[in-house]
Structure 1
C-alpha cells in the first residue's frame, strides 16, 4: 500500500487556506473590536487616517467594505455616484461614528466611494463602446476612420475608401472595418485619441512600425493593446493606477490616456527587445503584459505617458 505524504508546498498552502478561513470568519471580527477599543476608531476611520489619498486608502476601504457582513457597508462598493453622500451618512450611522470628533472622515470616505463608483461606471462605459460595432454606413464612424488616416498620413491622399493603402498604417485588408470586430469602436477611438492628442509621437511610433526588419502592424497592434487595456480594467488591475492618478471619478478619457501610455511604451519595448520577426508578436506581447501587470502592483503606480518636449514640442 502506498502512503501519500503531502509536500511542504501543499502543506503550506493548506495551512494558509485554514488561516485565511479562521481569520475571515472568526478572528477578524475580534481583531477589529480590540483595535476599536484601543484607538476609539472603527476600521474605516483607521484607514482614512492612516493612508494618504490614492490607491493605498481607496483599495483598503474597498476591501473593508467587501469583507463586512453588514449590508449597508457592502452596498458601498456598488453605490451609484448620486447616492454616495447618502451611503456615507448611513455608514456613519451604522458604525456609530462621532462626526464632531472626526470631521474629516465623511469627506475622505466620500472621496473613496466616488472613486470606487467611478471605476465601476467607467467599465460600463468602456464595455458599451467595445460592443458598438463599426458601421460603414454610420457617418460618425466613417468620419473618425478617415480622421485617423489624415492624422497619421497628412501628406498622402487616400485614393478611395476601400484600398490597399490602409496597410500603410497597419490594417490587414483593404477595408479596416473588418479589423474592429474584436474591440468594436473602442479600438478605433483609442487609435484616434492617441493620434490626435499626441500627433507627432503617434507618427513617430508609426515610423517604427514600418521599419523594414523590426516593423509591426501599427493599427492591428493598437487594437491588440486596446484589448490589453480593456482586460486590465475588467479584472480590476487598473484600480491602483486610476485611484492614484484621478482624485475624483475616473472618466473615459482617463482610459484613453492609459491606452496612449501602452501604445508608446510597447513601441519602445518592442524596439529594445528586437524580436526576430513579427511572428513572435504574441510572445513579446505577453512579456509586455506581464511587465505592465507587475507595475500595477506597485503602491504608488501611475502609468501616465510622459513625453520629452524636446522631441515632441507640439505636445
Structure 2
C-alpha cells in the first residue's frame, strides 16, 4: 500500500529503504551480517525497486496522456501527424492543409485529427507514430484491410482504442505487462553494490524510457493481432466493431493476467 500511495520523488532510494525497514521489522530480520540474512535483505530491496520502477513507468505514461494533441498550435505534433500520413499514404499528397476531410483516408473522423486523441492524448499519437515508423508495412496492410468495402473501420481511431487497452493492462498491473517492463532493467543494474553507489531504475531516465518503450511494442503487437481478428471475423459493417473489439479486449486481458 505504501508503495502505491507514496508520491515518488526524484530519489526513490529513501522510499525503498523505508519500506524495506518496515518489512525487516515485521519479519524480524535483524542486522546480522550472515550471508543468508544479507541475501534476503538484498532481494527484498531489489524487488521493491522493481515495483517502484513499474510505478514510475505508469506515472510517465499518464503524464503523456495528459498532454493534449493540437496540430494547429503544436508544430512538433503537426510534424508527427504529417509524417504518419506520408508513411501510410506515400503516393498520396494531402492538398487540403492542416484541417481537411482528407484525414479520413487514414482513419480520422473529422477535419482536425487532433480531436480524435481526446482521452489518450499524446500517448496515443506517440503509439501511432511508433507503429507506422517501426512496422510500416504492417500498418499499411492493416489500413488497406480496414478500408475494404464491408470491412471499413477507421484506422487511426482504432489505434486510440488500442492505446486505451494498453493503458488498461498497465494500470491493472497485469503480470505479463509488469514482467515485460521489469525485463528492460539491465541485469547489471540489479546487482548489489556498495550503499549509495547505484541509481535506482526508477531514477534513471534511460531505463524509464526503455520501460515506456515496452508500451509502444505492446501497442504494435495488439494492433496487428486485432487487425487479423477483424478480417478473420468477416465483419458485415462498422457496427460489428464493438462486439469484436470487446471479445479481443477480454481475451487480451486474460492473456496478460497470466505470466508466460
Normalising by structure 2, what TM-score?
0.78
From the superposition, tell whether residues 254 and 223 of structure 1 become closer, same or farther in structure 2 (CA, over 3 Å): same
Superposition pairs of residues 18-57 of structure 1, within 5 angstroms? none
2-structure distance, mates of 1:110, 1:161: 51
Q: Specify the SS of the correspondent of 1:195.
A: helix
Name the residue aligned to 2:248: 288
Does the 8 Å CA contact 2:107/2:153 hold for their aligned counterparts?
yes
1-structure distance, mates of 2:147, 2:42: 51
2-structure distance, mates of 1:183, 1:129: 8
Name the residue aligned to 2:88: 152
From the superposition, tell whether residues 200 and 101 of structure 1 become closer, same or farther in structure 2 (CA, over 3 Å): same
Name the residue aligned to 1:232: 169
1:282 deviates by 0.9
Tell me the C-alpha RMSD between the 2 structures. 2.3
2-structure distance, mates of 1:257, 1:294: 19
Does the 8 Å CA contact 1:122/1:252 hold for their aligned counterparts?
yes
From the superposition, tell whether residues 174 and 76 of structure 1 become closer, same or farther in structure 2 (CA, over 3 Å): closer
Name the residue aligned to 1:181: 118
Q: Specify the SS of the correspondent of 1:108.
A: helix
- Count of aligned pairs: 226
**Which of 21, 38, 52 lines up with 1:90 in the alignment?**
21
Name the residue aligned to 2:160: 223
1:77 deviates by 5.1
After the TM superposition, which segments of 4 or more aligned residues of structure 1 sit over 4 Å from their partners?
Answer: 76-80
From the superposition, tell whether residues 246 and 262 of structure 1 become closer, same or farther in structure 2 (CA, over 3 Å): same
Does the 8 Å CA contact 1:170/1:218 hold for their aligned counterparts?
yes
Per-residue CA distance 1:114-169 (angstroms, 9 max, x = gap)? 22112212221111111111122111111111111122122222212222221111
Does the 8 Å CA contact 2:153/2:238 hold for their aligned counterparts?
yes
1-structure distance, mates of 2:182, 2:81: 30
Structure 1: gaps spanning 5 or more residues: 1-65, 67-74, 301-315
Q: Specify the SS of the correspondent of 1:276.
A: coil
Say whether 1:167 aligns with 2:104: yes
**Which of 58, 64, 71 lines up with 1:129 in the alignment?**
64
**Which of 285, 291, 297 lines up with 2:257 in the alignment?**
297
Structure 2: gaps spanning 5 or more residues: 186-200, 202-207
Greater relative CO (CA pairs within 8 A, separation 6+): 2
Does the 8 Å CA contact 2:150/2:238 hold for their aligned counterparts?
no
Name the residue aligned to 1:305: none
Name the residue aligned to 2:198: none
Per-residue CA distance 1:71-111 (angstroms, 9 max, x = gap)? xxxx3555643335524652575232545232433343233
Normalising by structure 1, what TM-score?
0.65
Say whether 1:269 aligns with 2:236: no
2-structure distance, mates of 1:158, 1:260: 25
From the superposition, tell whether residues 226 and 244 of structure 1 become closer, same or farther in structure 2 (CA, over 3 Å): closer
From the superposition, tell whether residues 139 and 246 of structure 1 become closer, same or farther in structure 2 (CA, over 3 Å): same
Name the residue aligned to 1:197: 134
